[in-house]
Amino acid sequence: MVQIKNLHASIAGKEILKGLTLDIPDGQVHAIMGPNGSGKSTLSYVIAGREGYEVTGGEILLDGQNIMAMAPEERAAAGLFLAFQYPVEIPGVAMTMFMKTAINGIRKQRGEGEIDALDFLKLMKKKQAELGMSDEMMKRAVNVGFSGGEKKRNEVLQMAMLEPRMAVLDETDSGLDIDALKVVADGVNKLRSDKRSFLVITHYQRLLDYIKPDVVHVMAAGKIVKTGGPELALELEKTGYAEYAA
């Protein structure tokens, strides 16, 4: 479903991704672990289409289609989703309004009509309840005044609402207490299906106890340097990244 081929990307003239290759088939969960600054978030932004990155080589295919020339919203409509490492606050834009605009934005791009207002509210209520988020929070501006953990839950809520084909979760576990981690992992597991794939970026093996990955990659200095099964995460927990130092 997602193929990243020999991706090179730089920011401010500095090459961060240095020939990264990754293949995530339908229905699989892949985890990426790697030292700080190795380029994990950069990869997630380049996948989502953020401006400011210069892609100097390689390509990303979604269901065989090259997405490199697509705007972020077009990628969203094509089924991509990024749960941000640092979710962004948007003062003055209420959560419900934001969510509805997002759903309708995607529907419009897909040539579908707007979602029925009542259906939307029902859907929102259901997903909110699953993630333990109150109505009051949904009335607030996007992420404004949310605690670190609430922001991460909110990322998963948005993912659940938008039902992407492919989701990248960038350290969605960091900042979560143990109970919240379970709630968030449940949220992700509910969405697992043979039609949907995940790329889970994390520093901690613990998350992978809850979200069982099919494949674990180690990323260092802008490349995938090792690929293995779930046991690789356990191994890293013990040995650290010393042997992958660039």
Ligand X SMILES: Nc1ncnc2c1ncn2[C@@H]1O[C@H](COP(=O)(O)OP(=O)(O)OP(=O)(O)O)[C@@H](O)[C@H]1O
- Give the residues lining the site for Mg ion (CB under 5 A): 40-41, 85
Strands 65-66 and 53-62, how do they pair? antiparallel
State the Cα–Cα distance between residues 84 and 178, nearest whole angstrom: 20
Q: Could you tell me whether strands 223-228 and 215-220 are parallel, antiparallel, or unpaired per DSSP bridges?
A: antiparallel
The token duo for 61 is: 């295919």
- Tell me if 175 contacts other proteins by CB under 8 A: no
Q: Is residue 16 part of the contact set for ligand X (CB under 6 A)? A: yes
Under the binding rule (CB under 8 A), the answer on residue 75 touching other proteins is yes
CB of 34 to ligand X, least distance (A): 6
Could you tell me if 21 and 185 are in contact, meaning their C-beta atoms sit under 8 angstroms apart? no
Angle between helices 117-130 and 178-191 (to 10 degrees): 130
Q: How far is the CB of 167 from other proteins (least distance, A)?
A: 11
Stretch that binds ligand X, among 32-40, 134-142, 182-190, 209-217 (CB under 6 A): 32-40
Residue 187 binds to other proteins (criterion: CB under 8 A): no
Give the type of residue at 31: A
Q: What are phi and psi of 86, to 5 degrees?
A: -125, 90
Assess 51 for contact with other proteins (CB under 8 A).
yes
> What is the smallest separation between the CB atom of 41 and Mg ion, expressed in angstroms?
3
Q: Which residues contact other proteins by CB under 8 A? A: 48-51, 71-73, 75-77, 81-82, 84, 87-93, 97-98, 101-103, 105-106, 108-109, 141-142, 158, 162
